[in-house]
Amino acid sequence: MQIFTATFILVVSCSAFAIHYGDQPTLKKSETLATVLGHPEKFRVGEVLINSKIDTVCQEKGCWMVLKDERQQIRVTFKNYGFFVPKDLANSRCNVQGKLVEKTLSVGEARHYLKDEGKSKAEIAKVTEPQKVLHFVATGVEVLSAKQ
């Protein structure tokens, strides 16, 4: 009687897997937030992939987030209200694919965003006129690293 011994080697990869929400980004070249906001006219045609840190996320539903670098920020909403992100993604690094648009926020919409951010009633009341802003409408968000 012959006995066979099998030896198995388990190889574990330590590489992190990115998690995505909405469509998985398809663009390969990413831009920094500073580059996109520094030359918005260049990036308002077609989609762009922004690599940035997430500053805040809507604490009601995760239906928007704010990307921020050392000097500037932009609010990101999700195309057709089609997906949300987890509310605990602040300080995570991500790639966000979508379109840069110019938008006028009504007083109500601007106040709504401030309320979702947890701002005080006094701060919310300071908004008395519509606000013209650059805005980003994402088709997909890829979370690259956990909170930094």
Residue 115 lies in a domain: yes
Residue 133 lies in a domain: yes
Q: Count the domains in the chain.
A: 1
pTM of the predicted structure, to 2 decimals: 0.79
Cα distance between residue 127 and residue 132, in whole Å: 12
Cα distance between residue 73 and residue 123, in whole Å: 19
Q: 58: which 2 tokens?
A: 């809507």
- Residues in the chain predicted with pLDDT less than 50, given as ranges, are 4-15
Residue 21 lies in a domain: no
Is the Cβ–Cβ distance between 78 and 86 less than 8 Å?
Answer: no
Residue 69 lies in a domain: yes
Residue 5 lies in a domain: no
The domain in which residue 45 lies consists of: 28-145
At 123, which CATH number?
Answer: 2.40.50.140
